[in-house]
Structure 1
């Protein structure tokens, strides 16, 4: 299968925080790969903007070093010099006047102009105000903002209000890289481009859904930030919420940004409050390496590095089907997956046959993106009707050949969508606020109860209490493995 590369229009992309970690690891390598693939026009320009005093040559060297570090197999080095020719730099003072006149002179009026706020949310207002004051943006400009989109409903509203003072909602792209993953988008294709699953996609046929995002690393150098956020704010309220919405949403009337986001918003608003007994929080312990308390340098911390929740949706499609969400640090394996478990057949005609297992559709987001459907078949050979379970497996790398093995990174796709002006995979302001309106009472509840996270050993599946969350419902978590 040949992958089609559809070039975007020429653009100027200004990366505020252009010397930061996200720019080095994701944004600049992603843009380089799109340039080499022929999707980014050669007359486009990427302008780094940061506090560091640096000239164009210095920043180009910085970019080249980042590419060599984060694209180890830099095979097409012949395209590197051409890509670096698109790079520029302006030293900028986000809270003052330094550099803004120069930036205004570097951006063009006759191309798509996008501004990536890869900085702390506290600077969003300053950047928006100065872009407006210096006439650098207009009604066709686009602004990309990174999470966190607030830390509760009040701060999310304040942040939306700050952006709304200078940009229309159609200009704001709130980026969640999970929505740029190939498998996440294929979830929509599987549901809405095939008749096979949609008739079964409801509580009559689906027993439960598990969403797992497990990491083997600890909080690392993010200790001070993470201890103010925790797994609920850092992962559940955004990443896992978006995955839940894509599974549970009704078919939109068309594949249109607002139509898709309208349906996701309906799911969030239909979420039931989470009961205290349906929440398990944990912290990884020290075991040959520092534990969570040591990593965040706060021995009194009650912030969770692991959380599991049972979530219910009160609408006609999903009433009676629970969604189990879990995410954590220092777990057994690095994996992200969605597992849809279907109900047992209402009647088995195979008398005496034991060991029936559920049909499970597993959507793997990482590693080895793909889908796997487990079904029951007759075991080969004589001796009667014996049932066995087999997978119908579609690994993208295997099914699509070289195309599947070279799946674009989420940031590559999302940045190109910004240039196209396609907001389908970006969160809308009311969607962000609705998610916080659901999450805030959950967080306030355990704070009021003075709940302490349960300890768990690194390299396991999390706290023992999380097992009971499903056991009492007669279910069990899927094994965490790569």
Structure 2
């Protein structure tokens, strides 16, 4: 199957840091279909040779085994081409159309690695140039809008040119091997299904923690914040994967129908719950790995006195038969104590204790998402030093069954963008977000955004927290009110 992948924003940060390395790895692994072209599109005046040289210079900074050898890059460079375009000029789209029609690839992928403000313009121009054919697929990067209204406007404009089945809204968390293993854990094994419900689960925690600050993205981040950047998309998609009912099959719409039901079942916000169940924070100066780091307000590009949040912790519930009354805790932030993402399923204590266990301890299943990829099941067992059979007076010790997927399957596994790009080329929609999912997520977070705007007007900004910690102390109090704790506090 021949394909053309047109990369709008082909000289940008996302293209050379994520997309082109992912495509190179696919070629290295032998999974990239033969007969393909990768066409970078940008305003720079470059020839094909100059574009290949530019990408080669960026690839030279790649560390370790993922850096291509000279022979490997030479082979990959044969796929790279370049077209100079001003995305506001219809004549340039006509030139691109002629370039693509001259070859007539079976599949044409339009990857919009541009500012979201250009999505509508690019899609409308593609339609006007006759490039929205049945063979065309369009990939939209996040953030898709700034709120519900802007998200609807973008989706309406895109649907005016492309059908829903041609639109691939990408969330790279869904391409992570660990998230695929989460779905396999739930729906490929009978072991956990009887336990996956309110009768046995006490609480569920989703943590996406970063040690880095905003770095050079201060101007972008200051207009976005943690809720839009991480919760509205990544965290809610993980919540859907944990909370959804088994789909009738593995087809894209069957899976996405069940995710949509979860989003529509999230408890709505009230003034009381917004005040009680949401914590907003902003990192201050502190120590990280023994080095002093600046606070958010000292970062380049951040407006003086900014009230943008770099940390969010919240409590919610899925109001349905399976999960009624089970709290779901979401936490994400920058400049935290660790670079780590995990989902922790905390089980209820045994209904009748005949052994002593450590105070407050219970079984839990931890799905590690990054930097490691694996599962850990926390149980209790009699200590090795004990002689004879266990007795009721004996205190059991915690033990851990640990499965490291990198060790089990090897570290050279398919990365998130590599998997997602291959799925786009093959036309598989399972790991992509449907427009009604996005709208449901935006509808749920909007009351939180509105409450923060009102708090800002009252002079109540985000809570400061020292860099290198786990966020404001109010985040610990949030879970403690229900008798729970974050995983590092267990």
TM bracket (short chain): over 0.9
In the alignment, the residues of structure 2 paired with residue 75 and residue 437 of structure 1 have an alpha-carbon distance, to the nearest angstrom, of: 44
Gaps of 5+ in 2: 287-291
In the alignment, the residues of structure 2 paired with residue 409 and residue 353 of structure 1 have an alpha-carbon distance, to the nearest angstrom, of: 40
Indicate which of 18, 41, 50 corresponds to 1:58.
Answer: 50
> Map of 1:341-360 to 2, 5 A cutoff?
341-350=346-355, 354-355=358-359, 357-360=361-364
Equivalent residues of 2:143, 2:229 under 8 A apart: yes
In the alignment, the residues of structure 2 paired with residue 372 and residue 289 of structure 1 have an alpha-carbon distance, to the nearest angstrom, of: 33
Q: Does 1:282 align with 2:281?
A: yes
Equivalent residues of 1:310, 1:323 under 8 A apart: yes
Residue aligning to 1:371: 375
Distance 1:106 1:416, change over 3 A: same
- Once the two structures are TM-superposed, the CA of residue 298 in structure 1 deviates from its matched residue by 2.0
In the alignment, the residues of structure 2 paired with residue 34 and residue 424 of structure 1 have an alpha-carbon distance, to the nearest angstrom, of: 19
Runs of 4+ in 1 over 6 A off after TM superposition: none
Residue aligning to 2:130: 135
In the alignment, the residues of structure 2 paired with residue 217 and residue 49 of structure 1 have an alpha-carbon distance, to the nearest angstrom, of: 30
- Once the two structures are TM-superposed, the CA of residue 431 in structure 1 deviates from its matched residue by 0.6
Indicate which of 289, 296, 302 corresponds to 1:292.
Answer: 296
Indicate which of 435, 442, 448 corresponds to 1:442.
Answer: 448
Give a deviation string over 1:428-469, Cα, whole Å, max 9, x none: 001100101111011112222333111110000100111100
Residue aligning to 1:406: 412
Residue aligning to 2:343: 338
- Once the two structures are TM-superposed, the CA of residue 355 in structure 1 deviates from its matched residue by 4.3
Q: Does 1:83 align with 2:76?
A: yes
Give a deviation string over 1:289-347, Cα, whole Å, max 9, x none: 32111214323211110010001111001001000000001011100100001111101
Residue aligning to 2:469: 460
In the alignment, the residues of structure 2 paired with residue 428 and residue 207 of structure 1 have an alpha-carbon distance, to the nearest angstrom, of: 31
In the alignment, the residues of structure 1 paired with residue 311 and residue 302 of structure 2 have an alpha-carbon distance, to the nearest angstrom, of: 18
- Once the two structures are TM-superposed, the CA of residue 353 in structure 1 deviates from its matched residue by 5.4
Gaps of 5+ in 1: 1-8
In the alignment, the residues of structure 2 paired with residue 432 and residue 10 of structure 1 have an alpha-carbon distance, to the nearest angstrom, of: 31
Give a deviation string over 1:32-67, Cα, whole Å, max 9, x none: 010111111342100000111111000011121222
In the alignment, the residues of structure 2 paired with residue 337 and residue 154 of structure 1 have an alpha-carbon distance, to the nearest angstrom, of: 31
TM-score, normalised with respect to structure 1:
0.94
Equivalent residues of 1:302, 1:452 under 8 A apart: yes
Distance 1:90 1:389, change over 3 A: same
Indicate which of 255, 261, 264 corresponds to 1:266.
Answer: 261
Give a deviation string over 1:354-391, Cα, whole Å, max 9, x none: 54721111111101111111111121233452411111
Residue aligning to 1:471: 480
In the alignment, the residues of structure 1 paired with residue 141 and residue 463 of structure 2 have an alpha-carbon distance, to the nearest angstrom, of: 31
Equivalent residues of 1:284, 1:455 under 8 A apart: yes
Aligned alpha-carbon RMSD (Å): 1.6
* More deviation, 137-146/447-456: 447-456
Give a deviation string over 1:194-218, Cα, whole Å, max 9, x none: 0000111011110000000000111
Instruction: Tell me the secondary structure at the aligned position of residue 89 of structure 2.
Output: coil
In the alignment, the residues of structure 2 paired with residue 392 and residue 97 of structure 1 have an alpha-carbon distance, to the nearest angstrom, of: 59
In the alignment, the residues of structure 2 paired with residue 304 and residue 103 of structure 1 have an alpha-carbon distance, to the nearest angstrom, of: 41
Distance 1:88 1:353, change over 3 A: closer
In the alignment, the residues of structure 1 paired with residue 234 and residue 383 of structure 2 have an alpha-carbon distance, to the nearest angstrom, of: 40
- Once the two structures are TM-superposed, the CA of residue 478 in structure 1 deviates from its matched residue by 1.4
- Once the two structures are TM-superposed, the CA of residue 480 in structure 1 deviates from its matched residue by 8.6
Residue aligning to 1:215: 210
Instruction: Tell me the secondary structure at the aligned position of residue 220 of structure 1.
Output: coil
Distance 1:416 1:349, change over 3 A: same
Residue aligning to 1:6: none
Q: Does 1:105 align with 2:117?
A: no
TM-score, normalised with respect to structure 2:
0.93
Equivalent residues of 2:132, 2:161 under 8 A apart: no
Distance 1:355 1:467, change over 3 A: closer
Residue aligning to 2:147: 152
Q: Does 1:29 align with 2:34?
A: no
Instruction: Tell me the secondary structure at the aligned position of residue 398 of structure 1.
Output: helix
Q: Does 1:70 align with 2:62?
A: yes
In the alignment, the residues of structure 1 paired with residue 293 and residue 326 of structure 2 have an alpha-carbon distance, to the nearest angstrom, of: 40
- Once the two structures are TM-superposed, the CA of residue 273 in structure 1 deviates from its matched residue by 2.2
